[in-house]
């Protein structure tokens, strides 16, 4: 398998909007090549009769039952808000969108 080239690392850096120095391109090319090699070795070991798993032990998510309980009214929740609009907290616009 051919190794990761400087050009490929530079391309990935551009996609990630990272500015890398020349020596960093060489350094990261070696590291990425090692990572891809390790993943390839793991893929060789995996067999068809081994089911994919996310964890070696079975996990069960423990959730409590949903039940309706008394809570604040919209007016009570917004009572301490510095600004509100249409029963919501009003915050300054940050993205310049309408």
Confidence of residue 61 (pLDDT cuts 50, 70, 90): confident
Both tokens assigned to 86: 């249409």
pTM above 0.85, yes or no: no
Query: How confident is the model at residue 2, as a pLDDT?
Result: 61
Residue 89's H or E segment, with its range, is strand 88-89
Provide CB contacts within 8 A for 25, sequence distance 6+: 6, 9, 10, 13
Regarding predicted confidence, which is higher, 46 or 32? 32
Query: How confident is the model at residue 31, as a pLDDT?
Result: 93
> What is the rounded CA–CA span in Å between residue 46 and residue 89?
52
Query: How confident is the model at residue 67, as a pLDDT?
Result: 92
């Amino acid at each position: 398998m051919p190794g990761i080239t400087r050009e490929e690392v530079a391309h990935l850096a551009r996609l990630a909007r990272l500015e890398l120095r020349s020596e960093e391109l060489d350094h990261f090319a070696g590291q990425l090549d090692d990572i891809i090699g390790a993943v390839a070795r793991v893929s060789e070991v995996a067999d068809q009769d081994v089911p994919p798993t996310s964890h070696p032990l079975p996990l069960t998510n423990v959730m409590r039952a949903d039940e309706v309980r008394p809570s604040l009214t919209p007016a009570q929740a917004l009572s301490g808000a510095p600004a509100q609009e249409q029963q919501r907290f009003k915050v300054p616009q940050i993205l310049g969108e309408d």
